[in-house]
Amino acid sequence: MKLWNKLIVTFIIFGLISVILTVAFVDKIIMKDYYFLEEQNLEEEYSVSLNSINTMIKKLEIILVDWARWDDTYYFVENENEEYIKSNIVKSTFIDLEMNYIAIHDIENNLIFANEYDYEDEELVNIPIEIIETIEKAEIGNSVMLIDGKTLIVSKEFITDSESDFDPNGTIVFAYYLDNEIIYELNNELHMDIHLTENSTREFNDEKFVIRDNDNSIVSFYIPYANSERVIKAEVIVPNSISELGKKSVSKITNYIVLLFIILLISLYYGLDINIVKRLKHLSSQVTKITVSKDLELRVDVNNLDEVTTLQKNINFMLDDRKNLNDELVKHATLDIMTGLFNRRVGEEILGNLIKSAKENKTKFSICFIDINNLKTVNDELGHNTGDDMIINLAGIIKSNIRENDLICRLGGDEFLLVFHDYNSNQAELAIKRINNRIDEFNRIENHKYKLSVSVGIEEYDGISTMHELIKNADAKMYYEKKNKRNKNYNS
């Protein structure tokens, strides 16, 4: 085999091995990051699903509390006034509340009233005795119960007067069946894919189980029945969209590498031909001439030829492309694109770590839940571009009026969360006052079509609450302030 052919084969083999190793290395490094982000997304989808199911069950209790604290209900138990039933517990009551059963007992657990609404016949009927006996065993609060193979959501509350001046004189129970139609509505609301399968005899535990295939990941968890050892199996189907994005990125980079390999081989071919092979041929011709002529005075020409390569430029181009892809990925995973602030996921992660540190080191901090007033009105009347401008201006005001070690993140829509390190609630209120003063200055000086204002709820960490409880308390205080502002504006 000639030297030229040997060089070609060597370069082809070396190039193929280099491409394969480089692609394998790039695939391993890039996909590791994508799989990590997909695992985080799967955990978030699982948390949202579990919280949504719990909220759906909790919603029944919220409705029932109003009835249990209603004076008319209290006095009905006292005198069994039939007018109360005729006026309040009718067909439309069951339909509006989406209930199947309503039952009222006195404090001695004697049944005073029990009705079921038959949605097929559209009639009120008596509740079967076995169902009454089952719901009578329910604890105060919410329960998930198994009746005739169906899942029944039961909420039970003590009946008392609206001011709680008297002792409870009975209990009231609302119950409805958890069917596929309710889960379908929940999926539409959350834009998710949640399934409840047949109840199982599997031993209950609070762990989740994950099954993965090429297209989806399925997270399974279990909800226990209060009156049975059986459990409900819930499944959340999450598309593997992040890893698919990673595979596309790897495929794109692989194409760049293959293209680079082809360009390099062509360059090497012409480079070797011009700079080596032709020189060797010229040298061979001169040596032959010397050999034939036997003229020892002749000499071969010696020339220094330049090397031409585009390898460094192409590799840098490939690395720049990868860096840009990773930077864009990190940006979308951690920041709110509109404001440049941390997004909900990062904000909650930082707050969770701060709570853990505060518990261990006995340190203090406060949070503030901030909601922009009238953002929906601005969007509807002035357009979403103006609403976006409102959000961006508020983010800038808050960011420029807090300390560097304080945290601000956008939870979504018109909601922000502020975390004040080492601040008690009084110090946090002073900080919020400075922000409100700057907002007033903004409204006074800047020429805008809207008036910027916020409602806030401040909560100091008590060393006990979970992150969700802490945010929930601050949210409730914010809502109370917003409600007061609305009432004040209405009265004025």
What pLDDT tens digit does each residue of the chain (492 aa) get? 666 677 677 767 877 887 787 777 766 777 777 777 877 777 777 777 777 777 777 888 888 999 999 999 999 998 888 899 988 999 999 999 888 999 999 999 899 999 999 988 899 999 998 888 888 888 888 888 888 878 888 999 999 998 888 899 999 999 988 877 777 776 676 555 666 665 555 554 566 667 777 777 777 777 788 887 777 777 777 787 777 777 777 778 778 777 887 887 788 777 767 767 776 777 778 778 878 886 767 777 766 654 434 333 343 444 455 545 555 555 556 888 899 999 999 999 999 999 999 999 999 999 999 999 999 999 999 999 999 999 999 999 999 999 999 999 999 889 999 999 999 999 999 999 999 999 999 999 878 889 999 999 999 999 999 999 999 999 999 999 999 888 776 555
Distance CA 204, CA 230 (A): 8
Residue 291 lies in a domain: yes
Question: Do 88 and 147 belong to one domain?
Answer: yes
Residues 104 and 136 in one domain: yes
Kindly state the tokens that stand for 33: 């990051």
Q: pTM above the 0.75 mark? A: no
Residues 383 and 292 reside in one and the same domain: no
Query: Is residue 389 located within the same domain as residue 320?
Result: no
Structural domain including 114 reads 69-183
CB atoms within 10 A of CB 350: 15
Q: How far is CA 297 from the centre of its chain?
A: 85
Mind giving me the DSSP string for 45-65? HHHHHHHHHHHHHHHHHHHHH
Selection from 103, 104, 143, 91 nearest residue 127 by Cα: 103
Amino acid identity of 319?
A: L
Domain boundary among 183, 201, 234: 183
The rounded distance, in Å, linking the Cα atoms of 418 and 345 is 14
**Residue 50 in domain:** no
The verdict on 78 and 28 lying in the same domain is: no
Closest among 120, 99, 283 to 177, alpha carbons compared: 99
78 and 177 belong to one structural domain = yes
Residue 317 lies in a domain: yes
CA 20, distance to chain mean position in Å, is: 37
Q: How far apart are CA 476 and CA 491, in angstroms?
A: 22
Residue 12 lies in a domain: yes
Residues 477 and 399 in one domain: yes
Measured between alpha carbons, how far is 386 from 384 in angstroms, rounded to an integer? Answer: 5
User: In this structure, are 411 and 285 located in the same domain?
Assistant: no
Specify the number of domains making up the chain. Answer: 3
The answer on 360 and 323 residing in a single domain is no
Q: Which residue has the tokens 């601050």?
A: 474
Buried b / exposed e across 93-112, counting CB within 10 Å, b at 16+? Answer: bbeebebbbbbbbbeeeeee
The verdict on residue 57 lying in a domain is no
Last residue of a domain, one of 160, 183, 206: 183
